């Protein structure tokens, strides 16, 4: 096996190359290799050393797969201390992804050269951790700017190499080859007195102004953290760099790291890191190559069609937008321009960038103009009749080999595909509104979808920076399907005595971005009302939504009408109790003869979260989703589920499926039992004392 760390002598300078694809993670053999090769450089009389990464990237961090396993010496903190104590100058060639332990390694070097494109940061908080190799102590000593230091560590957001050079994180900005420039720098260092270059020796002093900066930062961090604990803990360690001697600060950082590592939040966030990557891999039974996509046709310039068109234009595709009339096209394109104008205002995009995007858009009212599209995505009315008509027309005009996708959120794609002579070219691409913002894309593999069509959808998902999850056909696919029992329990809890605000608060305290009633108001209560009218609901199902239906019939449609479950301030949209909703709910309770009771937040969380996971288990049992972790990704990226809890399936794994199963069994026996359909898979796993994670692994 080639050594993952080797030395190339360039004159008197030893270039210590790290070669651990795909991201040069600091696996154990890499840590050992760095120490070995650096020692070799010193022993061989090298004038200086450069640490560099193969593959155009320095080091993307510690090897996350090693977490939770026994530490193999040397640990990264020790490696960093050895680098810093080296008696010859060590220069870091910082390029590509220089993250987490990678940046900590660079900070342990005496000098740093980077280039503008490098991505430099300490993203550990995204894993529920904090820099664990003295990053919280060396970074502030390098930047000497408490705001930059506490922001980088607590947000986890990387900065560009250009900015790193501006704020003093790098000593030189290379305009050419970073490694060559690092070697030149090493050659030019004649002063072997490295005292001033060892960050651990830099003294910091806490002043009232700096203390005030940290006080203010902590308030902001706590607000943004929304229940995640790592950001604040990380910020406290940066603050300690100003208050404690280096060795004490490192001790505090280490103790905090060891406290966070085994915790539920870090385990959940590391679960999500790998779950997102797993979800986007093609199913094991799929082979072949993605088809080339250059030109995309979008049918429908409404909210969804416009958002989807923006997504593809932003990713550099040529887009042809088809609507039934010029006015509809004017409206749709007008909304897109307004959205992009907001992007200019927020500094997210430039005027030139918007012009580039608009230049990629072609408009038409004729299907014939879609004839040369490689991928056509339909986002028209959500009725089967309209979808069938549209796909019949597409079949007539689309070129052979064009991928035909429907954005339907729950309709049967097999039925839509059967409308064409090419069902193998048809699949679902279900975007979430607003499609240009929401990262989730459910790719629905219909029975006849060809492998290369599925691979094509996965490829464009990556190019348009969407997080794809592959689903099979089934009413509501994965996300929306699971929402039904979740909302059912929420409405039942209101019938039984909880207020909508109590249910919402219990769930936002749990970590959800918004509670179900606030979300229903946001989406519009008439959407659910119409969907229930279209379905042939059983009487006991219909009864659950009596209050919601009465609200709609009384004109309370949610935010869009100024009131729904809540009342909304016309200016600020601030939510407050809607007395009409309260009286409608009370009326319905008495009509249904319900003896209300006070309901704890714990019961609200259990009944809604277990209902969600139980449906997820049905989705898995039916093969609509491939993995439990895919379901977690759907809820993280499409529904505002708290990431530091993992996802609905990871959460019940942490509760323990035995507990979950016994609660569901209890409710199934109780008065509300008619609303529970325990999943066989969940019950079996509980019996075997297994978890969904183990089910995934065994697949």
- Phi, psi values for residue 480, rounded to 5°: -65, -35
Q: Of 66 and 369, which CB lies nearer to ligand T1G in the complex structure?
A: 66
Determine, following the binding rule CB under 6 A, whether residue 468 of this chain makes contact with ligand T1G.
Answer: no
Determine, following the binding rule CB under 6 A, whether residue 504 of this chain makes contact with ligand T1G.
Answer: no
Among 123, 305, 476, 646, binds ligand T1G (CB under 6 A): 123
Determine, following the binding rule CB under 6 A, whether residue 124 of this chain makes contact with ligand T1G.
Answer: yes
Q: How far is the CB of 465 from ligand T1G (least distance, A)?
A: 10
Determine, following the binding rule CB under 6 A, whether residue 452 of this chain makes contact with ligand T1G.
Answer: no
Q: How far is the CB of 92 from ligand T1G (least distance, A)?
A: 15
Stretch that binds ligand T1G, among 59-67, 411-419, 575-583, 636-644 (CB under 6 A): 59-67
Cα–Cα distance for residue pair 33/15, rounded to 1 Å: 13
Do 618 and 485 meet the contact criterion of CB atoms below 8 Å apart? no
Q: How far is the CB of 77 from ligand T1G (least distance, A)?
A: 8
Determine, following the binding rule CB under 6 A, whether residue 630 of this chain makes contact with ligand T1G.
Answer: no
Range 532-561, binding ligand T1G (CB under 6 A): none
Do 34 and 243 meet the contact criterion of CB atoms below 8 Å apart? no
Do 153 and 134 meet the contact criterion of CB atoms below 8 Å apart? no
Q: How far is the CB of 276 from ligand T1G (least distance, A)?
A: 8
Angle at 11 between CA 8 and CA 13, to 5 degrees: 60
Determine, following the binding rule CB under 6 A, whether residue 502 of this chain makes contact with ligand T1G.
Answer: no
Backbone CA torsion sign across 509, 484, 658, 689: negative
Q: Of 278 and 561, which CB lies nearer to ligand T1G in the complex structure?
A: 278
With b meaning 16 or more CB within 10 Å and e meaning fewer, what string describes 112-128? bbbbeebbbbbbbbbbb
Range 7-36, binding ligand T1G (CB under 6 A): 22-23, 25
For 129, the 3-state DSSP assignment is coil
Determine, following the binding rule CB under 6 A, whether residue 62 of this chain makes contact with ligand T1G.
Answer: yes
Q: Is 538 exposed, middle or buried (0-12, 13-18, 19+ CB in 10 A)?
A: exposed
Cα–Cα distance for residue pair 238/532, rounded to 1 Å: 53
Determine, following the binding rule CB under 6 A, whether residue 296 of this chain makes contact with ligand T1G.
Answer: no
Among 16, 129, 441, 444, binds ligand T1G (CB under 6 A): 129
Do 267 and 629 meet the contact criterion of CB atoms below 8 Å apart? no
Do 409 and 461 meet the contact criterion of CB atoms below 8 Å apart? no
Determine, following the binding rule CB under 6 A, whether residue 127 of this chain makes contact with ligand T1G.
Answer: yes
Residue 274 neighbours by CB distance under 10 Å: 12
Q: Of 34 and 329, which CB lies nearer to ligand T1G in the complex structure?
A: 34
Stretch that binds ligand T1G, among 129-137, 223-231, 360-368, 655-663 (CB under 6 A): 129-137
Q: Of 274 and 381, which CB lies nearer to ligand T1G in the complex structure?
A: 274
Determine, following the binding rule CB under 6 A, whether residue 249 of this chain makes contact with ligand T1G.
Answer: no
Determine, following the binding rule CB under 6 A, whether residue 146 of this chain makes contact with ligand T1G.
Answer: no
Q: How far is the CB of 694 from ligand T1G (least distance, A)?
A: 20
Site size toward ligand T1G (CB under 6 A) is 25
Catalytic residues: 104, 124
Do 693 and 647 meet the contact criterion of CB atoms below 8 Å apart? no
DSSP one-letter code for 644: G
Q: Of 99 and 380, which CB lies nearer to ligand T1G in the complex structure?
A: 99
Among 89, 135, 161, 300, binds ligand T1G (CB under 6 A): 135
Among 3, 11, 44, 65, binds ligand T1G (CB under 6 A): 65
The residue whose two tokens read 């913002």 is: 437
Q: Residue by residue, what is the 3-state secondary structure of 150-184? A: HHHHHHCCCEEHHHHHHCCCCCEEECCCHHHHHHH
List the strands of the sheet with 426-431, edge to edge.
361-364, 318-322, 295-299, 375-378, 403-406, 426-431, 440-445, 467-472
Binding map of ligand T1G across residues 85-104, x = CB under 6 A, - = no contact:
------------x-xxx--x
Residue 255 neighbours by CB distance under 10 Å: 11
Q: How far is the CB of 654 from ligand T1G (least distance, A)?
A: 21
Cα–Cα distance for residue pair 446/250, rounded to 1 Å: 54
CA-CA distances (angstroms) from residue 592 to 473, 485, 547, 585, 675? 37, 21, 11, 11, 16
Among 49, 60, 237, 525, binds ligand T1G (CB under 6 A): 60
Determine, following the binding rule CB under 6 A, whether residue 277 of this chain makes contact with ligand T1G.
Answer: yes
Integer-rounded Cα radius of gyration of the chain: 28
Determine, following the binding rule CB under 6 A, whether residue 140 of this chain makes contact with ligand T1G.
Answer: no
Stretch that binds ligand T1G, among 55-63, 312-320, 482-490, 574-582 (CB under 6 A): 55-63
Among 133, 443, 613, 686, binds ligand T1G (CB under 6 A): 133
Q: Of 64 and 537, which CB lies nearer to ligand T1G in the complex structure?
A: 64
Question: Token digits for 244?
Answer: 């404690």
Angle at 231 between CA 227 and CA 236, to 5 degrees: 120
Q: Of 468 and 664, which CB lies nearer to ligand T1G in the complex structure?
A: 468
Q: Name the residues that contact ligand T1G, by CB under 6 A.
A: 22-23, 25, 60-65, 76, 97, 99-101, 104, 123-124, 127, 129, 131-133, 135, 274, 277
């Amino acid at each position: 096996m080639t050594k993952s760390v080797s030395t190339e002598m360039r004159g008197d300078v030893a270039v210590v190359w790290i070669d651990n694809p795909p991201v040069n993670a600091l696996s154990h053999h890499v840590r050992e290799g760095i120490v070995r090769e650096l020692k070799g450089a010193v022993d061989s009389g090298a004038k200086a050393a450069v640490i560099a990464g193969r593959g155009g990237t320095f080091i993307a961090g510690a090897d996350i797969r090693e977490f939770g396993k026994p530490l193999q010496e040397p640990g990264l903190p020790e490696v960093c201390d050895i680098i810093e104590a080296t008696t010859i100058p060590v220069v870091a060639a910082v390029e590509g992804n220089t993250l987490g332990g990678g940046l900590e390694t660079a900070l342990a070097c005496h000098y740093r050269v980077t280039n503008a494109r490098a991505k430099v940061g300490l993203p550990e908080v995204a894993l529920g951790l904090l820099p664990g190799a003295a990053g919280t102590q060396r970074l502030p000593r390098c930047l000497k700017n408490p705001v930059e230091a506490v922001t980088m560590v607590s947000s986890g957001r990387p900065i560009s190499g250009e900015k790193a050079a501006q704020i003093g994180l790098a000593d030189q900005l290379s305009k050419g080859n970073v490694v060559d420039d690092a070697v030149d720098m090493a050659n030019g260092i004649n002063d072997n007195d490295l005292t001033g270059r060892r960050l651990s020796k830099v003294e910091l002093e806490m002043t009232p102004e700096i203390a005030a900066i940290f006080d203010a930062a902590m308030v902001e961090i706590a607000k943004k953290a929304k229940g995640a604990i790592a950001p604040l803990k990380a910020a406290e360690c940066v603050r300690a760099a100003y208050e404690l001697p280096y060795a004490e600060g490192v001790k505090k950082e280490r103790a905090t790291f060891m406290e966070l590592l085994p915790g539920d939040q870090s385990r959940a966030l590391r679960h999500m890191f790998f779950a997102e990557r797993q979800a986007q891999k093609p199913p094991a039974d799929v082979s072949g190559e993605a088809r080339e996509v250059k030109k995309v046709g979008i049918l429908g310039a409404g909210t969804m069609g416009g958002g989807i068109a923006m997504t593809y234009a932003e990713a550099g595709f040529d887009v042809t937008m088809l609507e039934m009339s010029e006015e509809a096209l004017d409206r749709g394109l007008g909304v897109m321009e307004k959205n992009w104008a907001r992007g200019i205002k927020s500094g997210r995009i430039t005027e030139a960038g918007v012009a580039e995007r608009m230049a990629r858009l072609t408009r038409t009212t004729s299907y014939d103009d879609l004839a040369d599209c490689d991928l056509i995505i339909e986002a028209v009315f959500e009725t089967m009749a309209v979808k069938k008509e549209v796909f019949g027309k597409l079949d007539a005009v689309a070129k052979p080999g064009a991928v035909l996708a429907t954005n339907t959120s729950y309709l049967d794609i097999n039925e839509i595909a059967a409308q064409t002579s090419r069902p193998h070219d048809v699949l679902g691409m279900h975007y979430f509104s607003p499609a240009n913002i929401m990262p989730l894309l459910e790719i629905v593999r219909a029975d006849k979808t060809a492998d290369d069509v599925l691979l094509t959808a996965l490829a464009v998902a990556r190019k348009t920076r969407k997080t794809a999850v592959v689903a099979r056909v089934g009413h509501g696919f994965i996300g929306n399907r699971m929402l039904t029992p979740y909302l059912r329990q929420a409405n039942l809890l209101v019938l039984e005595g909880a207020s909508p605000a109590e249910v919402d608060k219990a769930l936002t305290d749990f970590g959800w971005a918004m509670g179900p009633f606030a979300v229903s108001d946001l989406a519009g209560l008439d959407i659910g009302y119409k969907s229930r009218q279209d379905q042939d609901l059983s009487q006991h199902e219909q009864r659950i939504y009596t209050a919601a239906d009465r609200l709609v019939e009384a004109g309370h449609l949610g935010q869009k009408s100024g009131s729904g479950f809540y009342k909304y301030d016309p200016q600020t949209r601030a939510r407050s109790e809607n007395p009409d909703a309260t009286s409608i709910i009370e009326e319905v309770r008495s009509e249904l003869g319900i003896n209300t009771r006070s309901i704890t937040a714990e019961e609200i969380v259990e009944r809604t979260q277990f209902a969600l996971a139980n449906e997820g288990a049905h989705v898995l049992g039916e093969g609509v989703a491939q993995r439990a972790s895919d379901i977690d990704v759907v809820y993280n990226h499409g529904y505002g589920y708290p990431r530091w809890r993992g996802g609905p399936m990871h959460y019940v794994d942490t509760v323990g499926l035995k507990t979950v199963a016994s609660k569901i069994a209890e409710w199934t026996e109780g008065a509300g039992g008619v609303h529970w359909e325990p999943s066989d898979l969940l019950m079996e796993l509980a019996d075997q004392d297994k978890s969904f994670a183990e089910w995934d692994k065994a697949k």
